[in-house]
Chain A
Amino acid sequence: MSAASAVVEMAAVSKDYRLGKTEVAALRNINLEVRSGDFTVLAGPSGSGKTTILNLVGLIDKPTAGEVRIGGEDTISRGPNALTSIRRDRIGYIFQMFNLVPVLTVFENVEYPLILGRVPAWERRRRVLDALDKVGLAGRIRHRPSELSGGERQRASIARAVVKKPSLVLADEPTANLDSSAGAVVLDLMRRLNCEEGVTFLFSSHDPRIIEAGRRVVRLKDGRIEGIGDNGGRP
């Protein structure tokens, strides 16, 4: 695979945290590539570095050493405004706790990234309704997040992540706060968006059923990649 088709490249990335006087190595020498159309899961127990990788790829944290490239562009030397632009235009986020804005309706939550991207109002409306239709929330556009079930909130969160057609969607334990049936619906939706729309997903989980669903599985332990494997061509 050529570097041009890589959405994410991490080269020799390390990340250290300071906890009081103790230095904690969260990631050590990570080399990882996520290609366009991938459905990659970061698997590993708590503290293995899954969330740290997502934070670094999502440009909401900086590595202690190494390079993170998004769409072939180096991000380490970029200033805050440039990183904001990359996050706004190229990366979608799905959070474990959904993180919808409670005072905005479902429609407004999904519309928000398009407003940041200065998409015209008529185009925003079309794309928001389309995204909500795809996640099965077309009938809930005027509801506030507090009026939705956990599964519905996560589906709204997915719609918010994909509505701007990002080159990469990051999801940190997207089903961890859902019961098994809602989790299955969310996972199925992510797979469908990957297969039908070509959305590239990089997500984390420690749930074996979710891990099994990933096409590529990156196994982490103690901040290192233990191995990267294919899941037999699934989904």
Chain B
Amino acid sequence: MIFLKLGFRSLFRQKRRTAVSLLVLTFGIGCLLLTDSHSRYIKWGLRESTIHSETGHIQIFQRDFFLREESRVLEFGLEGVEALRNELLRLRDVSLVQARIDFMGLVSNGEKSVACLGQGVEPAQEKRLRGLFRMPAATYDALAARGDDVHVIALGAGLARSLGVKAGDSVTFMSTTAAGALNAMDLTVAATFRGFSSDYDERAAVVPLRTAQLLLDTSKVKSLIVTLDATEKTDAVFDRIGRLARDKGFPVVLKKWHERALYYRQVEGFYEQVTGFLSVVLFLIIFFSTSNTILMAVVERTPEIGTLLALGTSRRQTLTTFLSEGLFIGLIGGILAAAFAFLATRGLNALNIVLPPPPGLADGYPLSFRMSAAGTAIIVVGAVAASALASILPTLRAARMRIVDALGHI
């Protein structure tokens, strides 16, 4: 205890130097916490928006879907999905089950035809899906408002611009049926929409599921999208659906959301690299700052170290004293940094700052933060460990001093 007391009180001998060290630590760890919190926000936001706009939590495909290439559209689509949907909706934690069809086609205004990526959806379900994460769903409002009308389409803003059409205009959608024949439908543009990127906007078209099935002349769907009340339950529900499919004999294969979210995985990897690089840089700064502080303390207090050793203090006890000094610097710096980061994230979140859109994307994104207790604890403990580690070399120097030399040190 006396050695910890000595280590702690020694922090206040050179107040200015300790203050500078703490400032470096607080700012360094604080910046790392801010970066980590922002990265967490981006990953969380992207995860949830990906799930609630695209992947759901679990996707269900026909068993052979990933084993072979389809030779015809929806060759490996799901049939008779209503029975499976009803079973799924009975499961605990399942909020929503919806069907989708992805297909390709040409959309024409009579003068110009543009290749597009069509998606057949259940508008009311899609609207609910987005609503679970408070995402805009105006595209689906317009489609849902048309009820059972199958002659409607929503076009990406870029695609509509390319065709020179607007809401209320007519277009013709052409595609090949599941049997390989050519088919076409005249559709009314119910709305235009903006997606996450301008590239997507220039190619995307959304139609009601039934419209897509009429165009493709099929009753199949590509997949069922299962959405849960919390992303954290994905693994548990995934297992439950797997058991259900086996028990009831549904010929399906399941995929978790992140297996189908390539963009999310790329962004996650990018932010992990950025945070990792920053962590290394900031931990090096912490390491050298603390090391310098402890080294200066050892040099300045050499006669005192000699005195303590002469009085019968062991080398191990001397090590404890100086290591505790480094630990205290790390601990105080960590706590101050956590407080700084907490206040800064609260303040910046309240300001609602929107950053410009990254290259290739249509919208800016908010400079928001999502602090995590576990993440903060890991970073603070890491900083304390780095400080302790930084103290080891100078401390060993103190513990190995010849007493007679230390006492005579000026």
Contacts and interface: CB of A to CB of B under 8 A. Distances in A.
Interface of A: 55, 58, 60-61, 80-81, 84-85, 87-89, 93, 95, 97, 99, 101-104, 108, 111-113, 115-117, 160
A117 B310 CA distance: 14
B373 interface: no
A58 B303 CA distance: 16
A122 to B, nearest CB: 16
Interface of B: 2, 5-6, 9-10, 12-13, 303-304, 306-315, 317, 402-404, 407
A17 to B, nearest CB: 10
Nearest to A170: B310
Interface of B is mostly: helix
Contacts of A95: 307, 407
Contacts of A61: 402-404
Contacts of B407: 60, 95, 99
B2 A102 contact: no
**Most A Cβ at <10 Å: residue of B303, B306, B310, B313:** B310
| 10 nearest A-B residue pairs (beta carbon) | A88-B312, A103-B9, A60-B403, A99-B307, A61-B404, A87-B312, A116-B312, A115-B2, A60-B404, A55-B404
Contact of A103 (B13, B309, B313): B13
B307 A108 contact: no
B312 A101 contact: no
A173 to B, nearest CB: 13
A93 B311 contact: yes
Given A88-B312, A102-B304, A113-B312, 9 more contacts: A61-B404, A85-B312, A93-B307, A97-B303, A101-B6, A102-B13, A112-B308, A116-B311, A116-B317
Nearest to B10: A103
Contacts of A112: 2, 308, 311
A61 B309 CA distance: 12
Contact of B6 (A87, A103, A116, A117): A103
Given A80-B315, A112-B2, A101 B404 contact: no
B2 A87 contact: no
Contacts of B317: 116
6 contacts: A58-B310, A60-B407, A99-B407, A104-B9, A112-B311, A116-B313
A81 to B, nearest CB: 7
Contacts of A117: 312
B368 to A, nearest CB: 45
Contacts of A103: 6, 9-10, 12-13
Contact of A81 (B6, B304, B314): B314
A84 B312 contact: yes
A138 B315 CA distance: 32
Contacts of B304: 99, 101-102
Nearest to A157: B307
